[in-house]
Amino acid sequence: MKKPPRAPYFLLIAALIITGLLGIVTVTSLDSSASAAVPGTSDAQSLAGPGGQPPRPTRYPTAQLRFSGPDRIVSPNVLTPGAAMTYTMTLLNDGGSMTARNATLEIPWNGNQTFVDFSTDTPGWKLKTANDTGVIVDLGDVQVNQKGKITIKATFATNYDKTIFRQTLYLNWNDDYAARRAGTNLTESVELPVPTPIGLPGGPVTDPAPAPTTAPVSASGPFAPLATQPGSARLWYFPATRHTLGGQFLNYWLEHGSVTNLGYPISEEFNDNGRTIQYFERVVMEFWPENPDPYKVLLRSLGRELNGVEPPVPAGTPSASDGSIFYQETGHWLDGRFAATWQDRGGLAQFGFPVTEPVIVGDRLIQWTERARFELDISRPNQLVMLGLVGNEAAKSKGLLN
């Protein structure tokens, strides 16, 4: 029997080789097509960026709230401890494409500065807080290209002891991507008394109680302005009114609200009917050495003295606003718009009971208590409660002050 012929092995091998070569050509062609999608780069190079470096982060747009213009100033050009000063600034949101949301202007006090007044030409911008640490103005949402001016009046610090005043003002806001904060620095010269009192080291003053003087009560006596005096930690000289303050009266002034509650001294100590007293812008202090501490320094009842006590009103018929408090002792309501200030600044011990009902006089809401007059400017929104200058008024009513 004849065997079938064998297929040549070399033909089989050749076929396998040819098939393999065709497969290689096909794969190589596919890879070349993928590379051609990004000419001259690999996938890794296209993600890394030029030079193989990581890509730069995307620059997101932001609100550009800033201080603008040459009126971002403090005046006067030379500041004096205890004297009036003014901040004037223009705020602008430009250079971006977003609203500055929940924006605020922040001025941290430098030393014991005292707030006096706030105004703006932009409806909706309002005073948020003004206390011992500084001032915050609520700007709300500042739109793109919105611009407005703010003026803040204050009293310069009495305890500032440098010849150059430096302070930073801040703008805070949010946009779509982050919380933002921008600041500007203010620098002004300071004219200091020589030497300048800077505080009370070692705690309260321990000097003897103020001694009665023999100076007559007249415009040329204790109310006459003094030339600049050499100050010390126990005797302060106030350039704002050109009078001194020391001893137990200085202790009381520091511990009971200083300028905000009591004002600056407008006289020196003097004897009035056997009692050592001193006049201030908002009060009259009297020294009672026979009293136990802490009642040796008392405030004169200027509310009763200048305005008297109005007849009481029924407890069930308040003529004041929401939050008012009725005091049976004098039969009057303390207006709700004054109640928080009355309580926060010393309450009954500092101001006494209300002796009138609140009344509107011109553009002000006023109310008398036994030792003070509370005032609120109702012509502008969000104003702070102020205390009337009843010490000045009492001195003028007696012919002691022009």
Residue 294 belongs to some domain of the structure: no
What is the number of structural domains in the chain? 2
Residue 339 belongs to some domain of the structure: yes
DSSP state letter for 257: T
User: Per-residue pLDDT for 262 more than 90?
Assistant: yes
User: Per-residue pLDDT for 248 more than 90?
Assistant: yes
State yes or no: cis peptide before 76, omega within 30 of 0.
Answer: yes
162-193 as b/e: b if 16+ CB within 10 A: eeebebebbbbbbbeeeebeeeeebebebebb
Residue 279 has a pLDDT of 97
Residue 341 belongs to some domain of the structure: yes
Long-range pairs of 380-388 with CB within 8 A, sequence gap ≥ 24 = 380/119, 381/126, 382/126, 382/127, 383/118, 383/127, 384/115, 384/118, 384/127, 384/130, 385/337, 385/338, 385/341, 387/260, 387/261, 387/263, 387/282, 388/282
User: Per-residue pLDDT for 298 more than 50?
Assistant: yes
Domain end point (choices 169, 190, 211)? 190
Residue 29 has a pLDDT of 30
Span 52-111, pLDDT tens digits: 455 544 455 678 888 886 555 788 878 888 888 999 989 998 877 789 888 999 998 888
Q: How far apart are CA 12 and CA 326, in angstroms?
A: 116
Single out the residue of 285, 286, 267, 290 nearest to residue 402, CA to CA. Answer: 267
Residue 306 has a pLDDT of 94
Q: How far apart are CA 375 and CA 338, in angstroms?
A: 8
Q: Which domain holds residue 145?
A: 65-190
- Alpha-carbon dihedral 44, 50, 55, 57, rounded to 10 degrees: -160
* 348: Cβ contacts below 8 Å, ≥ 6 apart: none
Single out the residue of 159, 385, 382, 212 nearest to residue 282, CA to CA. Answer: 385
Residue 151 belongs to some domain of the structure: yes
Residue 146 belongs to some domain of the structure: yes
Span 14-62, pLDDT tens digits: 555 555 544 433 333 323 223 233 333 333 333 344 444 555 444 556 7
User: Per-residue pLDDT for 274 more than 60?
Assistant: yes
Residue 317 has a pLDDT of 67
Residue 21 has a pLDDT of 45
Span 304-334, pLDDT tens digits: 999 999 999 888 766 667 789 999 999 999 9
Domain end point (choices 190, 208, 223)? 190
What six digits make up the tokens of 296? 């040796």
Burial of 200 (0-12, 13-18, 19+ CB in 10 A): middle
Length of the chain, in residues: 402
- Percent of residues in the chain assigned helix, strand, coil, to nearest 5: 20, 35, 45
Span 212-231, pLDDT tens digits: 444 444 456 899 999 887 77
Residue 163 has a pLDDT of 76
Please state the rounded mean pLDDT for residues 168-172. 86
Burial of 79 (0-12, 13-18, 19+ CB in 10 A): buried
Evaluated on CA atoms 371, 376, 377, 382, the torsion sign reads: positive
Residue 203 belongs to some domain of the structure: no
Side chain identity, residue 146: Q
Domain end point (choices 160, 190, 220)? 190
Residue 231 belongs to some domain of the structure: no
User: Per-residue pLDDT for 278 more than 80?
Assistant: yes
Single out the residue of 109, 94, 143, 151 nearest to residue 127, CA to CA. Answer: 151
Give the DSSP H or E segment for 180: strand 179-190
* 77: Cβ contacts below 8 Å, ≥ 6 apart: 188, 189
Residue 358 has a pLDDT of 92
